[in-house]
Structure 1
């Protein structure tokens, strides 16, 4: 299954550069966590301070299971806290929401 999400970065060139540097080689524990949740591929794109993520998953993936796994993993929590220093919620996000799912409106 393919999922697409959006999130903003803080509009600060130095912070955006740092964020991109962290993503040149993510922590091995984060990569392992992503893969063990059933995520088979993940890409993040940026324009300005807007991020767009494409996530491909296998049949074992569920958002609920991923949330539990993340909550129980101190390294994931540390990574998420660190990343939040660079990220900011989209204007339409509810309190506590980060990456918001996008609705597909066209397919060829």
Structure 2
């Protein structure tokens, strides 16, 4: 069995119900561009889920042993279709108030796990 690791992140959407609905439509089943899905899978991400409450999103990524966040960032920077998607999504998104400079999705700190 492969070792998997979980990463969790948060990001806000602009607090505008119309924009939130459009963002959700872009992420409905079968609506994310196939090049984006391929890019995600090619990076070693085996599952990704995004949850929404109000305008705050939470992303959960399960990755395999080949995943490297630095390599994924470089892959994304070198992929024009990913850059196009990210520019489009940024029209709906905004960084958390405490995000670091240039940080879009802020890593979450795990503070509890039921064992």
Q: Normalising by structure 2, what TM-score? A: 0.93
Aligned partners of 1:79 and 1:60: how far apart in 2? 24
Aligned partners of 1:17 and 1:63: how far apart in 2? 29
Does 2:52 correspond to 1:42?
Answer: no
Name stretches of at least 5 consecutive residues in structure 1 with no aligned partner. none
Runs of 4+ aligned structure 1 residues displaced above 6 Å come to: none
Q: 1:72 aligns with which of 63, 72, 78?
A: 78
- State the Cα distance separating 1:105 from its structure 2 match: 0.4
Counterpart residue number, 2:96: 90
Counterpart residue number, 1:53: 59
More helix as a share of residues: 1
Q: Normalising by structure 1, what TM-score? A: 0.99
Per the alignment, in what secondary structure is the counterpart of residue 27 of structure 2? Answer: helix
- State the Cα deviation string for residues 39-81 of structure 1 (Å, max 9, x = none): 0000000000000000000000010000110011000000000
